[in-house]
Structure 1
Amino acid sequence: MSTRLITHLRHVALAVPDLRKQLAFFTDTWGLVTEHTDTGLVFLAAAGSPEQYVVRLRQAPGKRIDLISFGAANAADVDTLAEQLARDGVRLVNEPGDLQTPGGGYGFRFFDNEGRTVEISSDVDVRRHRAIEEGEDIPVRLSHVVVNSADPEGTRAFYEKHLSFALSDTLMHPRMGEMMWFMRVNGWHHSLAIARGPHASLHHASFEMRGLDEYMRGTGRLLRAGVEKIWGPGRHLAGNNTFSYFLDPHGNTVEYTTELEILDEDTWHPHVYDFSKPEVSDQWGTANAMNEFVASRSFNDPDEGLFIAPPV
């Protein structure tokens, strides 16, 4: 596919066994706000984002990624993308139609190569949002989602071929080879990244803060609250963004970040960075060292929802 029809990342939907505990974490601790509720469902918004919600939580017996949602410019692009995917043999969950989720819109869902559910939508109502003020240590928007993949080369190829994602940068290790691919659908360095892992699962979901001060204030607030920190604070080389990684109550990794690089797509050439060099993982040298413990905490549990569409 040569024409990019996806415009941006909308939200990530997670299923969890303890909805009440997860909701309390994301609102009372992480800084999102409850925007809509339904039976066994909560839709959480970021105060600075025009998206109706950036995280959806669903009560379920097991833990899984319900779906990752991306935007398209209009209904015609949604239809075109659905037709192209079907023609290429990609398994659609449903045909394009009116959405029944908050903000409405028009969209469809399909399974990617490893069985994750992906949603593409357009014409969703814009949420009334505001500028985050100086010193406010709450998320502005959902920055990016990173997935673990047992077939990362195949997953990268799927998103490039079918959804016109572009490669921004790659992380490699002298002994292990290429390990992570940063993929974009607009000028942001990455909206999706693919990490080599033992199984398909969520690696982490990242939330953009207003600036460095707000990022550090948020990091400190979570530390004072006793939330387990995995890695950070620091600044990556690929994407040039800051990072502080924490574990949510169900063992998912969530990140505070800021200053993710915006690229000139016409002139950008992808780099291959050797992350065995400390300055690649953390330019500042302030984070705890990237090691097997840090990596293993982001492997997460195997996703229980592969090739099983969420009920909602």
Structure 2
Amino acid sequence: MSGNLNAFGITHLRHVDLAVPDYQTQRSFYTDLWGLTEVGTDGDLSYLAAEGSPEQYVIRLRRAGEKRLDLISFGATDPAAVDALAAKLASEGVQLVSQPDKLQTAGGGYGFRFFDIDGRVIEISADVETRQHREVEEGESIPVRISHAVMNSNDPTRTKDFYEKYLGFMLSDTLWGEHMGEMMHFMRCNDWHHSLAIARGPHTSVHHVSFELRGLDEYMRGTGRVMRAGIKKVWGPGRHNAGNNTFTYFLDPSGNTMEYTTELERLTTDEWHPSVYDIADPMTQDVWGTADPMSELIARESFNDPDRGVFVAPPV
């Protein structure tokens, strides 16, 4: 398994934090419909957990005048790894947003924040308290955990190189198109096929955030529940080739794409060789053939609005 362990002690994706103007609408979307549990609020913050996950929360909503990505948080093995990575990044010219310190958000812990090459705020943390979670039951169509986050970049290869060089992420696979070149890089920090992916988009923004369901039946039930509620379905249900995971994409009330997935591949070999998949092959996008063919129209739905938070630290 050593080839799948992160060189700098990054362990997993913890949470994605979003600022939203339609705060109450979003809270009810994520709790009543998407299947997350609000575990607490703090002023203009709402902390949303996945029932099957020990993470304190997987989505944080912040009431704000404009929509933005506040940050993406990854776990680290221990405070020593946090300190070492912060020192390394600073010495290599990466702009830190905060120095390693006690975290003031739910679950506490010890961490720091920095800007990635596109201006996203990334948090690395250790010693965050876990929460009482439970086994999601058969037929229960709610997220077990956060699966991965995909971000748009107008230079996805430059962004991929940043995560490889500075954060030790490893490339799992790439999607490629004849006219557009490299379209998406899937990157891992553990044995899951990807915890992060970088998509080609016209600007820096959230492409989608994905949630793992218990199994195929639960994934289809969840997909159906959200469809019946009249939420705009962008694409799916289907099964991707790269990562082998199922997918259904929906737009949340503020236009961020959210995905239900299951059965994401786990890479158990050190000798994994990344593949390049041609997006012109219908089997690349959907091996089942149940989703509409990928089109410019579908792709555009996940471009999202240009992120207002680029190189701007969130207030909390």
- TM-score where L is the length of structure 2: 0.97
Match of 1:215 among 219, 225, 233: 219
* 1:262 and 2:266 correspond: yes
Match of 1:309 among 290, 300, 313: 313
Deviations 1:134-178 (A, max 9, x none): 000000000000000012111111100110000000000122211
Partner in structure 2 of residue 119 of structure 1:
123
Match of 2:101 among 93, 97, 100: 97
* 1:130 and 2:134 correspond: yes
Match of 1:163 among 156, 163, 167: 167
* 1:19 and 2:23 correspond: yes
Mark the runs of 5 or more structure 1 residues left unpaired by the alignment: none
Partner in structure 1 of residue 232 of structure 2:
228
SS in 2 for 1:202: strand
2:8·2:85 contact (CA, 8 Å) conserved in 1? no
SS in 2 for 1:7: strand
User: What amino acid sits opposite 1:187 in the alignment?
Assistant: D
SS in 2 for 1:294: helix
SS in 1 for 2:146: strand
Map 1:5-84 → 2, pairs under 5 A: 5-84=9-88
User: What amino acid sits opposite 2:156 in the alignment?
Assistant: P
* 1:185 and 2:189 correspond: yes
Q: Distance in 2 between matches of 1:120 and 1:164?
A: 13
Deviation at 1:265, TM superposition (A): 4.2
Q: Distance in 2 between matches of 1:185 and 1:262?
A: 12
User: What amino acid sits opposite 2:89 in the alignment?
Assistant: L
Q: Distance in 1 between matches of 2:81 and 2:252?
A: 36
Q: Distance in 2 between matches of 1:58 and 1:175?
A: 38
1:109·1:117 contact (CA, 8 Å) conserved in 2? yes
Map 1:238-277 → 2, pairs under 5 A: 238-277=242-281
Partner in structure 1 of residue 178 of structure 2:
174
User: What amino acid sits opposite 2:288 in the alignment?
Assistant: W
Superposed CA RMSD in Å reads 0.8
Q: Distance in 1 between matches of 2:11 and 2:250?
A: 28
Q: Distance in 1 between matches of 2:78 and 2:197?
A: 25
1:15·1:64 contact (CA, 8 Å) conserved in 2? yes
Distance verdict in 2 for CA 1:18–1:103, change over 3 Å: same
User: What amino acid sits opposite 1:129 in the alignment?
Assistant: H
Mark the runs of 5 or more structure 2 residues left unpaired by the alignment: 1-5
2:239·2:286 contact (CA, 8 Å) conserved in 1? yes
2:172·2:273 contact (CA, 8 Å) conserved in 1? yes
User: What amino acid sits opposite 1:168 in the alignment?
Assistant: S
Deviation at 1:18, TM superposition (A): 1.1
Q: Distance in 2 between matches of 1:175 and 1:262?
A: 31
User: What amino acid sits opposite 2:191 in the alignment?
Assistant: G
1:204·1:252 contact (CA, 8 Å) conserved in 2? yes
User: What amino acid sits opposite 1:154 in the alignment?
Assistant: R
How many residues are paired up? 311
1:241·1:257 contact (CA, 8 Å) conserved in 2? yes
Q: Distance in 1 between matches of 2:314 and 2:179?
A: 38
User: What amino acid sits opposite 1:277 in the alignment?
Assistant: D
1:215·1:258 contact (CA, 8 Å) conserved in 2? yes
SS in 2 for 1:240: coil
Deviation at 1:264, TM superposition (A): 2.0
SS in 1 for 2:220: helix
Larger displacement relative to structure 2 (278-287 or 172-181)? 172-181
1:4·1:165 contact (CA, 8 Å) conserved in 2? no
SS in 2 for 1:82: helix
SS in 1 for 2:128: coil
Q: Distance in 2 between matches of 1:309 and 1:36?
A: 23
Identity %: 66
2:8·2:81 contact (CA, 8 Å) conserved in 1? no
SS in 2 for 1:25: helix
Deviation at 1:3, TM superposition (A): 2.3
- TM-score where L is the length of structure 1: 0.99
2:20·2:254 contact (CA, 8 Å) conserved in 1? yes
